[in-house]
Protein backbone atom coordinates (compact mmCIF):
# COMPACT_ATOMS: atom_id res chain seq x y z
CA UNK A 1 0.00 0.00 0.00
CA UNK A 2 2.87 2.32 0.81
CA UNK A 3 4.67 1.93 -2.49
CA UNK A 4 1.99 3.31 -4.83
CA UNK A 5 1.51 6.27 -2.49
CA UNK A 6 5.22 7.03 -2.41
CA UNK A 7 5.52 6.58 -6.12
CA UNK A 8 2.69 8.91 -6.76
CA UNK A 9 4.02 11.45 -4.39
CA UNK A 10 7.65 11.33 -5.44
CA UNK A 11 6.56 11.66 -9.01
CA UNK A 12 8.08 14.94 -10.13
CA UNK A 13 6.10 17.32 -12.19
CA UNK A 14 8.03 17.44 -15.39
CA UNK A 15 5.51 19.71 -16.86
CA UNK A 16 3.65 22.39 -14.96
CA UNK A 17 0.41 21.13 -16.51
CA UNK A 18 0.84 17.63 -14.99
CA UNK A 19 -1.29 16.94 -11.96
CA UNK A 20 0.18 15.24 -8.92
CA UNK A 21 -2.57 12.79 -8.04
CA UNK A 22 -1.40 12.47 -4.43
CA UNK A 23 -1.82 16.19 -3.84
CA UNK A 24 -5.31 16.03 -5.20
CA UNK A 25 -6.40 13.35 -2.71
CA UNK A 26 -8.38 14.91 0.12
CA UNK A 27 -6.94 14.64 3.63
CA UNK A 28 -9.71 12.44 4.97
CA UNK A 29 -9.15 9.85 2.26
CA UNK A 30 -5.40 9.74 2.97
CA UNK A 31 -6.13 9.43 6.71
CA UNK A 32 -8.47 6.54 5.95
CA UNK A 33 -5.78 4.77 3.89
CA UNK A 34 -3.14 5.39 6.57
CA UNK A 35 -5.49 3.98 9.23
CA UNK A 36 -5.78 0.77 7.26
CA UNK A 37 -2.01 0.66 6.92
CA UNK A 38 -1.32 1.30 10.60
CA UNK A 39 -3.74 -1.43 11.67
CA UNK A 40 -2.12 -4.00 9.38
CA UNK A 41 1.56 -2.94 9.48
CA UNK A 42 3.79 -5.91 10.24
CA UNK A 43 6.62 -3.94 11.85
CA UNK A 44 7.26 -0.53 13.44
CA UNK A 45 9.41 0.57 10.51
CA UNK A 46 6.67 -0.15 8.01
CA UNK A 47 4.61 2.53 9.69
CA UNK A 48 7.28 4.90 11.00
CA UNK A 49 8.90 5.22 7.54
CA UNK A 50 5.76 7.01 6.42
CA UNK A 51 6.47 9.77 8.92
CA UNK A 52 9.70 10.66 7.18
CA UNK A 53 8.30 10.48 3.65
CA UNK A 54 7.08 14.06 3.43
CA UNK A 55 5.53 16.77 5.56
CA UNK A 56 1.99 16.01 4.51
CA UNK A 57 2.24 12.28 5.26
CA UNK A 58 4.00 13.05 8.55
CA UNK A 59 1.13 15.27 9.60
CA UNK A 60 -1.62 12.91 8.45
CA UNK A 61 0.06 9.74 9.81
CA UNK A 62 0.04 11.35 13.26
CA UNK A 63 -3.69 11.96 12.97
CA UNK A 64 -5.60 10.73 16.00
CA UNK A 65 -7.57 8.21 13.96
CA UNK A 66 -4.45 6.69 12.38
CA UNK A 67 -2.67 6.34 15.74
CA UNK A 68 -5.72 4.91 17.47
CA UNK A 69 -5.92 2.14 14.87
CA UNK A 70 -2.22 1.14 14.99
CA UNK A 71 -1.93 -2.62 15.56
CA UNK A 72 0.32 -4.37 18.11
CA UNK A 73 3.10 -4.99 15.56
CA UNK A 74 3.62 -1.24 15.18
CA UNK A 75 4.74 -1.38 18.83
CA UNK A 76 7.16 -4.31 18.36
CA UNK A 77 10.03 -1.95 19.15
CA UNK A 78 13.51 -3.27 19.77
CA UNK A 79 14.88 -2.41 23.19
CA UNK A 80 18.10 -1.23 21.54
CA UNK A 81 16.07 1.28 19.50
CA UNK A 82 14.44 2.83 22.57
CA UNK A 83 14.69 6.61 22.51
CA UNK A 84 12.84 9.72 23.61
CA UNK A 85 11.36 9.86 20.12
CA UNK A 86 9.91 6.34 20.43
CA UNK A 87 8.64 7.15 23.92
CA UNK A 88 6.91 10.27 22.58
CA UNK A 89 5.39 8.30 19.70
CA UNK A 90 3.94 5.74 22.12
CA UNK A 91 2.54 8.54 24.29
CA UNK A 92 0.86 10.07 21.24
CA UNK A 93 -0.73 6.70 20.46
CA UNK A 94 -1.89 6.37 24.09
CA UNK A 95 -3.42 9.84 23.92
CA UNK A 96 -5.25 8.79 20.75
CA UNK A 97 -6.93 5.99 22.69
CA UNK A 98 -4.80 3.09 21.41
CA UNK A 99 -5.08 0.23 23.94
CA UNK A 100 -2.09 -1.74 22.64
CA UNK A 101 0.02 1.39 23.10
CA UNK A 102 -1.30 1.83 26.67
CA UNK A 103 -0.44 -1.75 27.46
CA UNK A 104 3.02 -1.67 25.83
CA UNK A 105 4.05 1.64 27.36
CA UNK A 106 2.58 0.50 30.69
CA UNK A 107 4.77 -2.62 30.69
CA UNK A 108 7.86 -0.65 29.64
CA UNK A 109 7.33 2.01 32.31
CA UNK A 110 6.49 -0.46 35.05
CA UNK A 111 9.27 -3.00 34.48
CA UNK A 112 12.00 -1.26 32.45
CA UNK A 113 11.81 2.41 33.47
CA UNK A 114 10.70 1.51 37.02
CA UNK A 115 7.99 4.14 36.89
CA UNK A 116 5.61 1.78 38.65
CA UNK A 117 2.64 4.09 39.29
CA UNK A 118 2.49 5.41 35.75
CA UNK A 119 3.00 1.90 34.30
CA UNK A 120 0.18 0.51 36.41
CA UNK A 121 -2.22 3.27 35.47
CA UNK A 122 -1.50 2.78 31.75
CA UNK A 123 -2.09 -0.97 32.04
CA UNK A 124 -5.25 -0.31 34.06
CA UNK A 125 -6.45 2.08 31.35
CA UNK A 126 -6.18 -0.74 28.79
CA UNK A 127 -7.57 -3.36 31.20
CA UNK A 128 -10.69 -1.28 31.88
CA UNK A 129 -11.44 -1.45 28.17
CA UNK A 130 -11.09 -5.27 28.27
CA UNK A 131 -7.56 -5.52 26.86
CA UNK A 132 -6.80 -9.16 27.75
CA UNK A 133 -2.96 -9.00 27.90
CA UNK A 134 -3.23 -5.96 30.21
CA UNK A 135 -5.64 -7.82 32.51
CA UNK A 136 -3.30 -10.80 32.61
CA UNK A 137 -0.24 -8.63 33.30
CA UNK A 138 -2.04 -6.93 36.18
CA UNK A 139 -2.86 -10.40 37.51
CA UNK A 140 0.83 -11.39 37.49
CA UNK A 141 1.65 -8.15 39.33
CA UNK A 142 -1.02 -8.92 41.96
CA UNK A 143 0.15 -12.52 42.41
CA UNK A 144 3.72 -11.35 43.05
CA UNK A 145 3.09 -8.02 44.75
CA UNK A 146 5.45 -6.63 42.09
CA UNK A 147 6.67 -3.12 42.70
CA UNK A 148 5.88 -3.45 46.41
CA UNK A 149 6.59 -5.89 49.22
CA UNK A 150 5.37 -9.43 49.58
CA UNK A 151 2.58 -8.07 51.78
CA UNK A 152 1.22 -6.34 48.67
CA UNK A 153 0.35 -9.65 47.06
CA UNK A 154 -3.35 -9.98 46.41
CA UNK A 155 -4.01 -13.52 45.24
CA UNK A 156 -7.79 -13.13 45.02
CA UNK A 157 -7.43 -10.03 42.84
CA UNK A 158 -4.95 -11.97 40.69
CA UNK A 159 -7.42 -14.81 40.20
CA UNK A 160 -10.24 -12.37 39.39
CA UNK A 161 -8.11 -10.60 36.77
CA UNK A 162 -7.06 -13.95 35.27
CA UNK A 163 -10.69 -15.01 35.07
CA UNK A 164 -11.62 -11.84 33.18
CA UNK A 165 -8.68 -12.20 30.78
CA UNK A 166 -9.42 -15.88 30.15
CA UNK A 167 -13.06 -15.07 29.34
CA UNK A 168 -11.66 -12.76 26.66
CA UNK A 169 -9.72 -15.70 25.20
CA UNK A 170 -6.28 -15.10 26.73
CA UNK A 171 -4.66 -18.55 26.80
CA UNK A 172 -1.93 -17.80 29.38
CA UNK A 173 -4.58 -16.43 31.74
CA UNK A 174 -6.70 -19.55 31.28
CA UNK A 175 -3.70 -21.74 32.03
CA UNK A 176 -2.85 -19.67 35.11
CA UNK A 177 -6.42 -19.92 36.34
CA UNK A 178 -6.33 -23.69 35.83
CA UNK A 179 -3.18 -23.97 37.96
CA UNK A 180 -4.66 -21.71 40.65
CA UNK A 181 -7.77 -23.89 40.91
CA UNK A 182 -5.72 -27.06 40.83
CA UNK A 183 -3.42 -25.82 43.62
CA UNK A 184 -6.01 -23.85 45.60
CA UNK A 185 -3.93 -20.69 45.11
CA UNK A 186 -6.00 -17.52 45.67
CA UNK A 187 -9.19 -19.51 45.16
CA UNK A 188 -10.88 -22.53 46.72
CA UNK A 189 -9.18 -25.68 45.45
CA UNK A 190 -11.02 -27.55 42.75
CA UNK A 191 -8.68 -30.04 41.12
CA UNK A 192 -11.05 -31.38 38.47
CA UNK A 193 -12.14 -27.88 37.36
CA UNK A 194 -8.50 -26.78 37.29
CA UNK A 195 -7.52 -29.70 35.10
CA UNK A 196 -10.49 -29.05 32.84
CA UNK A 197 -9.28 -25.48 32.28
CA UNK A 198 -5.72 -26.69 31.61
CA UNK A 199 -6.97 -29.11 28.97
CA UNK A 200 -9.07 -26.28 27.51
CA UNK A 201 -5.98 -24.04 27.39
CA UNK A 202 -4.08 -26.76 25.51
CA UNK A 203 -6.94 -27.25 23.09
CA UNK A 204 -7.18 -23.51 22.39
CA UNK A 205 -3.45 -23.41 21.86
CA UNK A 206 -3.74 -26.26 19.38
CA UNK A 207 -6.51 -24.45 17.51
CA UNK A 208 -4.46 -21.25 17.52
CA UNK A 209 -1.36 -22.95 16.11
CA UNK A 210 -3.32 -24.80 13.45
CA UNK A 211 -4.87 -21.49 12.38
CA UNK A 212 -1.38 -19.97 12.23
CA UNK A 213 -0.06 -22.87 10.16
CA UNK A 214 -2.91 -22.68 7.70
CA UNK A 215 -2.39 -18.93 7.39
CA UNK A 216 0.98 -19.74 5.79
CA UNK A 217 3.40 -18.46 8.42
CA UNK A 218 6.56 -20.50 7.81
CA UNK A 219 8.01 -19.70 11.25
CA UNK A 220 5.14 -21.57 12.86
CA UNK A 221 5.12 -24.59 10.65
CA UNK A 222 4.15 -27.86 12.24
CA UNK A 223 7.10 -30.15 12.85
CA UNK A 224 7.47 -33.58 14.29
CA UNK A 225 9.43 -34.11 17.48
CA UNK A 226 13.06 -33.23 17.18
CA UNK A 227 14.83 -29.96 17.66
CA UNK A 228 14.55 -27.22 20.25
CA UNK A 229 11.84 -25.21 18.56
CA UNK A 230 8.95 -27.43 19.48
CA UNK A 231 5.65 -26.35 20.87
CA UNK A 232 5.73 -27.64 24.43
CA UNK A 233 2.19 -28.37 25.49
CA UNK A 234 1.27 -30.14 22.32
CA UNK A 235 3.73 -32.90 23.10
CA UNK A 236 0.83 -34.21 25.17
CA UNK A 237 -0.97 -34.91 21.93
CA UNK A 238 1.97 -36.76 20.41
CA UNK A 239 3.38 -34.07 18.17
CA UNK A 240 5.18 -30.77 18.38
CA UNK A 241 5.02 -27.41 16.73
CA UNK A 242 7.09 -24.30 16.41
CA UNK A 243 7.00 -21.91 19.36
CA UNK A 244 4.30 -19.27 18.87
CA UNK A 245 5.15 -15.66 18.36
CA UNK A 246 6.24 -13.88 21.53
CA UNK A 247 4.26 -10.71 22.26
CA UNK A 248 6.12 -7.47 21.43
CA UNK A 249 6.10 -6.14 25.01
CA UNK A 250 7.61 -9.41 26.27
CA UNK A 251 10.36 -9.36 23.65
CA UNK A 252 11.12 -5.77 24.51
CA UNK A 253 11.58 -6.61 28.19
CA UNK A 254 13.75 -9.64 27.53
CA UNK A 255 16.01 -7.62 25.21
CA UNK A 256 16.07 -4.70 27.62
CA UNK A 257 17.28 -6.83 30.51
CA UNK A 258 19.49 -9.29 28.64
CA UNK A 259 21.30 -7.00 26.24
CA UNK A 260 19.94 -3.48 26.64
CA UNK A 261 20.12 -0.81 29.34
CA UNK A 262 18.44 -3.11 31.87
CA UNK A 263 21.49 -5.37 31.97
CA UNK A 264 23.13 -3.06 34.48
CA UNK A 265 19.91 -1.97 36.12
CA UNK A 266 18.78 -5.47 36.92
CA UNK A 267 20.50 -5.32 40.26
CA UNK A 268 22.23 -8.19 41.92
CA UNK A 269 19.90 -10.83 43.21
CA UNK A 270 17.08 -9.91 40.82
CA UNK A 271 16.26 -12.40 38.08
CA UNK A 272 14.27 -12.65 34.90
CA UNK A 273 11.44 -15.11 34.57
CA UNK A 274 13.11 -18.14 32.96
CA UNK A 275 10.33 -18.69 30.43
CA UNK A 276 11.68 -17.48 27.10
CA UNK A 277 8.42 -15.79 26.08
CA UNK A 278 7.96 -13.75 29.26
CA UNK A 279 10.76 -11.26 29.99
CA UNK A 280 9.35 -10.09 33.34
CA UNK A 281 12.04 -9.23 35.90
CA UNK A 282 11.77 -9.49 39.65
CA UNK A 283 11.14 -6.11 41.26
CA UNK A 284 12.63 -7.26 44.59
CA UNK A 285 14.87 -10.13 45.64
CA UNK A 286 13.27 -13.60 45.77
CA UNK A 287 10.01 -12.32 44.33
CA UNK A 288 9.48 -15.16 41.89
CA UNK A 289 8.83 -18.81 42.63
CA UNK A 290 11.62 -21.16 41.73
CA UNK A 291 12.04 -24.74 40.68
CA UNK A 292 12.18 -26.75 43.89
CA UNK A 293 14.28 -29.51 42.34
CA UNK A 294 17.27 -27.58 41.01
CA UNK A 295 16.59 -24.12 42.50
CA UNK A 296 18.26 -22.61 39.44
CA UNK A 297 15.33 -21.13 37.54
CA UNK A 298 12.67 -18.63 38.60
CA UNK A 299 9.20 -17.93 37.29
CA UNK A 300 6.74 -15.06 37.57
CA UNK A 301 3.77 -17.40 37.40
CA UNK A 302 2.57 -20.99 37.38
CA UNK A 303 1.71 -20.63 33.71
CA UNK A 304 5.28 -19.59 32.78
CA UNK A 305 6.66 -22.47 34.79
CA UNK A 306 4.40 -25.02 33.12
CA UNK A 307 5.32 -23.77 29.65
CA UNK A 308 9.04 -23.63 30.33
CA UNK A 309 9.00 -27.07 31.92
CA UNK A 310 7.57 -28.57 28.77
CA UNK A 311 9.61 -26.42 26.42
CA UNK A 312 13.04 -27.06 27.89
CA UNK A 313 13.47 -27.21 31.64
CA UNK A 314 12.50 -30.87 32.00
CA UNK A 315 15.55 -31.64 29.84
CA UNK A 316 17.85 -29.49 32.02
CA UNK A 317 16.52 -29.86 35.56
CA UNK A 318 18.65 -31.83 37.94
CA UNK A 319 18.60 -31.89 41.74
CA UNK A 320 22.35 -31.76 42.32
CA UNK A 321 22.69 -27.96 42.59
CA UNK A 322 19.99 -27.54 45.22
CA UNK A 323 22.21 -27.58 48.32
CA UNK A 324 24.23 -24.53 47.30
CA UNK A 325 21.16 -22.62 46.11
CA UNK A 326 19.18 -23.39 49.25
CA UNK A 327 21.13 -20.79 51.18
CA UNK A 328 19.65 -17.89 49.22
CA UNK A 329 16.25 -18.20 50.84
CA UNK A 330 14.28 -19.18 47.76
CA UNK A 331 10.98 -17.65 46.75
CA UNK A 332 9.81 -15.16 49.33
CA UNK A 333 6.46 -16.78 49.93
CA UNK A 334 8.05 -20.13 50.63
CA UNK A 335 5.78 -21.44 47.93
CA UNK A 336 8.40 -22.68 45.54
CA UNK A 337 7.59 -24.29 42.29
CA UNK A 338 7.52 -28.01 41.88
CA UNK A 339 8.35 -29.91 38.71
CA UNK A 340 5.37 -29.95 36.44
CA UNK A 341 3.34 -32.97 35.66
CA UNK A 342 3.66 -33.77 31.97
CA UNK A 343 0.07 -34.89 31.79
CA UNK A 344 -1.43 -31.39 31.66
ZN1 LIG B 1 6.97 -15.27 33.36
ZN1 LIG C 1 14.62 -27.34 37.90
Q: Per residue in 204-219, pLDDT tens?
A: 888 877 776 666 544 4
- Ion ligand 2 nearby residues (CB, 5 A): 291, 293-294, 317
Ligand nearest to the CA of 305: 1
Of the listed ligands, the closest to the CA of 319 is 2
| pLDDT surpassing 80 at residue 230 | no
pLDDT (mean) for 126-146: 96
Q: How far is the CA of 176 from the centre of ligand 1 (A)?
A: 11
Backbone angles phi, psi at 113, to 5 degrees: -90, -5
CA distances from 14 to 9, 10, 54, 306 (A): 13, 12, 19, 65
Other C-beta atoms within 10 Å of 35: how many?
A: 19
> How far is the centre of ligand 2, averaged over its atoms, from the C-alpha of 329 (Å)?
16
Q: Where are the alpha helices (DSSP H) in 108-227?
A: 116-128, 132-144, 155-167, 171-183, 191-214
Contact residues for 198 (Cβ-Cβ < 8 A; gap 6+) = 175, 178, 179, 182, 344
pTM: 0.81
CA 27/CA 30 separation, integer angstroms: 5
Using 50, 70 and 90 to split pLDDT, how confident is the model at 28? confident
Interatomic CA distance for residues 38 and 30, integer angstroms: 12
pLDDT at position 233 is 53
| 4, β-bridge pairs | none
Across the strands, what pairs with 281?
272
Residue 15 predicted with pLDDT over 70:
no
Across 20-29, 95-104, 211-220, 240-249, the highest mean pLDDT is recorded for: 95-104
Q: How confident is the model at residue 127 (pLDDT cuts 50, 70, 90)?
A: very high
Q: What torsion, rounded to 10 degrees, do the Cα atoms 79, 103, 72, 98 define? A: -120
The pLDDT, as a whole number, for residue 328 is: 40
Is the pLDDT at 9 greater than 80, yes or no?
no
How far is the C-alpha of 99 from the C-alpha of 211, rounded, in Å?
25
Q: Where are the beta strands (DSSP E) in the chain?
A: 222-223, 240-241, 289-290, 298-299
Q: CA–CA separation, 204 vs 171, rounded Å?
A: 7
Pairing mode, strands 298-299 and 222-223: unpaired
Say if residues 202 and 244 touch (Cβ distance below 8 Å).
no
As residues whose CB is below 5 A from the ion ligand 1, the structure lists 273, 275, 278, 280, 300, 304
Q: Does the pLDDT at position 40 exceed 70?
A: yes
Please spell the DSSP secondary structure of 38-50, one letter per residue: HHH-SSHHHHHHH
What confidence score (pLDDT) does residue 246 get?
Answer: 72
Ligand nearest to the CA of 273: 1
The residue-averaged pLDDT of 263-278 equals 84
The residues, any chain, with a CB within 8 Å of residue 142's CB and separated by 6 or more, are 153, 154, 155, 157, 158, 161
Q: Does 97 score more than 50 pLDDT?
A: yes
Q: For residue 140, how far is its CA from the centre of ligand 1 (angstroms)?
A: 8
For residues 282 and 270, the answer to whether their CB atoms sit within 8 Å is yes
The alpha carbon of 275 and the centre of ligand 1 are apart by a number of angstroms equal to 6
Span from the CA of 292 to the centroid of ligand 2 (angstroms): 6
Structure-model confidence comparison of residues 227 and 256, the more confident one: 256
Would the pLDDT of 189 be above 70? Answer: yes
pLDDT of residue 213: 64
Amino acid sequence: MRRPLKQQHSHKRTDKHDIDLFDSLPDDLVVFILSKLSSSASSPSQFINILSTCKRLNRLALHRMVLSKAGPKVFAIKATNWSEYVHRFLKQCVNSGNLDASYTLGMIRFYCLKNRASGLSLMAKAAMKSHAPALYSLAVIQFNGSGGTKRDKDLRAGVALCARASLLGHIDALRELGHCLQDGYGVKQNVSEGRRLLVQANARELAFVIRSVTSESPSRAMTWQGDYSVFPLLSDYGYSMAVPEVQPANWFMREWFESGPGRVELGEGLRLCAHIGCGRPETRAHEFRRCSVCGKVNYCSRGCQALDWKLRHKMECSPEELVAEDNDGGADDGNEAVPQNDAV
